[in-house]
Structure 1
Amino acid sequence: MRTLLALVLSMVAGGREVAAQDAECVRERAAMVEAIRAYARSRVNALGPDGLSERVLDALGRTKRHLFTSERSCSIAYADAPVSIGHGQTMSQPFIVALMTELAEVATDHVVLEVGTGSGYQAAILAHLARKVCTIEIIPALAETAARTLRDLAYDNVSVRLGDGYAGWPECGPFDAIVVTAALGEVPPPLIEQLKVGGRLVMPVGAAYTSQQLTVVEKIAPDKTTTRTVALVRFVPFTRSPK
C-alpha cells in the first residue's frame, strides 16, 4: 500500500512540475514574441516601418521552441540567442528565424524548401504558414531527431530528407520559397532552378566563420533574378557531402 501511495504521490508531483514548466514556457514564449515585435520595428532597413507581420509573430507564438532543444529549458529556448544543438550546429536566434521567415513571404498555399533542418524549429515555423514544407539535413543524427520531434508534435505537412541540400529536392518542388540556414559563398544554382517565378530564396551568403550578408533572391522570370542584401548575420558553414 505504501509503495502504491508513493507512486501516486510521485505521479501527482511530476504532473505539477510539468504543468509549472508549461506555464513558465507560455510566459517566456509570449515575452519572446513581444521582444521580437519591438525589436523588429527598429529594423526599418530590413523589414520596413511595419516590422514583422502578425502571421509570422503568431507562428512564433504557437511553436514550442523548447521542445526542439535537448535541455527543454524555457529560459534558454526563449532567450533571443542561438542555441547549440550538437554536431557543431546551432538553432538560430528567434529574431533571425522570424526575419528570414518574413523575407520569404510565405503564403498559405505555398510549398517551401528549407535547406539545413537542424533541430526542426525553422521548419515548424514555416509549417504554420505554408501548405507543405520540405526540409533537408545532411547530418544523420539531426535529421532523425528533427523528423521524430516534428512527427511527435503533429507537423503533418513537413517532410524531412537526409542529404546534401546544395542540389535541392526536385521531387518535392518546384518551390514558392526557399530558406537556407547555413552560409555559403554563392547561391546554389540548383536551388534557383527549383524556385518558381515570383518566388523568393533567403540565405546567408559569405565565407564561413565570419559575418555574412543575409540575402534575398527573387526570381522574376525563368532566367532572371534580382538580389538584395538585408543585414549582416553569422551562420554555421554550409556542409556538403564528400566528393
Structure 2
Amino acid sequence: MNMPLNTSANTNDPIAHARYNMIEQQIRPWNVSDPEVLELLHQVRREDFVPAAHRSLAFMDIEIPLRGTPEEGVRTGQCMLAPRVEARLLNDLQVKKHERVLEIGTGSGYMAALLAHRAKEVLSLEIVPELADAARANLQRAGIGNATVRVADGSQDPLPEGPFDVIVLSGSVAEVPQALLAKLNDGGRLAAIVGLDPIMRMTIVQRHGNRFETTQPWDTSSPRLTGFAEPSPFKF
C-alpha cells in the first residue's frame, strides 16, 4: 500500500517548505515517481546531514562539499550528490525490505540513511576517517540502527563479506568495477555513475546467474570516487 504524500507546502515552517519545493520542483520532474521514495525524502531530514557551514545549501540542486570549499569538495569527491540524483537512484533501484546493501562512499551518511529505510541492512564504506565519524553521528541522531559505517577504501582494500543484493557507488567511476560485480547475489543490482566528463551515465548492472545485464537509463555527472582506476591517456 502506498504511503500518503506529505503536504508540507501548507506549513509555515520555512525548512519544511524548502524541502517540499526541492521534491516538487527538482525531484518529481526528474522521473522520480515512487510515492514511497517521495515520502521518504520528507521523512529523512537532509539538512541534518549537511555540514553546518553549508546548511543553507541543503535543498539546492548542487553537490554540497563535506570539507573545504565547493571546488575542493568536487575535486576530492568529498561531497553529497545532488538531491535529484540521490532520489532517482533510490527510485530506480527499488530496494526491498529483505535486501542487504553495500554502499561505496558514505560521505555524510544521507544516502545510507535513505537506503536503510528501504533495506534490511546497509554496510557503507568511507575512505576518510573524519567523514566516517561524522556519518556515524548523523545516522545515530537520525535513529538509523541498521546502517554500519566502516573506514575502508572500496577500490583497494579487501571487499567486505558478501554477497549483497544491492551495491551503490555514491560517486562516479570511469568503468564498472568488476570485483564488485562478483559480490552481487543472483538478481542483485549494482548502480554507479560511469564515464568521463562532460557525459556520464547512470549504469545499473543486474546479475542473472553468471550473466550480467547492463542498462544506462539516464545521463548525469558527479565527482569521482577516490582510488578507482582511470583510463590510460591517449598516446600519439
* Band of TM-score, shorter chain: 0.7 to 0.9
Determine whether 1:64 maps to 2:54.
Answer: no
Partner residue of 1:78 out of 52, 56, 59: 59
Distance change (3 Å), C-alpha of 1:35 and 1:154: same
In the alignment, which of 128, 141, 148 is matched to residue 159 of structure 1?
148
1:71-122 C-alpha deviation (Å, 9 max, x unpaired): 2766421122221112532211111001111222201111111111011111
Change (3 A) 1:152 1:38: closer
**Contact 1:104/1:179 (<8 A) preserved:** no
Deviation of 1:170 (Å): 2.9
Distance 2:23 2:178 in 1: 35
The structure whose Rg is larger is: 1
Equivalent-residue separation in structure 1 for 2:57 and 2:127 (angstroms): 25
Q: Secondary structure of 2:171's match?
A: coil
SS at match of 1:165: coil
Percent identity, please.
32
The amino acid that maps onto 1:238 is L
Residue aligning to 1:29: 19
Matched, 1:123 2:112: yes
Bigger proportion of residues as helix: 1
Deviations 1:149-191 (A, max 9, x none): 11122110000011111367432x3211111012222211221
CA contact under 8 A between 1:28 and 1:75: conserved in structure 2?
A: no
Aligned CA RMSD, in angstroms, stands at: 2.1
Instruction: Name which of structure 1's ranges 161-170 and 120-129 shifts more when overlaid on structure 2.
Output: 161-170
Where does residue 226 of structure 1 map in the other structure?
213
In 1, distance between residues paired with 2:22 and 2:171?
23
Rounded Cα–Cα distance in structure 1 between residues aligned with 2:107 and 2:153: 13
Letter of the structure 2 residue corresponding to residue 232 of structure 1: D
Secondary structure in 2 matching 1:170: coil
* TM-score, normalisation: structure 1: 0.78
CA contact (8 A) 1:168 1:194 kept: no
- 1:145 aligns to what SS in structure 2? helix
Uncovered stretches (5+) of structure 1, i.e. residues with no partner:
1-21, 42-50
CA shift at 1:24, angstroms? 2.2
Name the CA shift for 1:238/1:31 in 2 (closer, same or farther; >3 Å): same
Q: What is the alpha-carbon distance in structure 2 between the residues aligned to residue 72 and residue 130 of structure 1?
A: 31
Asked if structure 1 preserves the Cα contact closer than 8 Å seen for 2:58 and 2:64, the reply is: yes
Q: How does 1:187-226 map to 2 (within 5 A)?
A: 187-207=176-196, 210-221=198-209, 223-226=210-213
In 2, the alpha carbon distance for the partners of 1:238 and 1:82 equals 14
Amino acid at match of 1:170: P
User: In 1, Cα distance between the equivalents of 2:93 and 2:204?
Assistant: 8
C-alpha distance in 1 between matches for 2:122 and 2:113: 9
The total of aligned residue pairs comes to 208
Distance 1:184 1:70 in 2: 25
Instruction: Tell me which amino acid in the other structure corresponds to 1:31.
Output: N
Give 1:46's aligned residue.
none
Structure 2, unpaired ranges of 5+: 1-11, 68-72, 229-236
How far apart, in 1, do the equivalents of 2:27 and 2:62 lie? 15
Alignment partner of 1:79: what SS?
A: coil
One-letter amino acid matched to 1:158 = A
For the residues of structure 2 that align with 1:146 and 1:154, how far apart are their CA atoms? 12
Distance 1:85 1:94 in 2: 15
Describe the shift of the 1:30–1:191 C-alpha distance in structure 2 as closer, same or farther (beyond 3 A). same
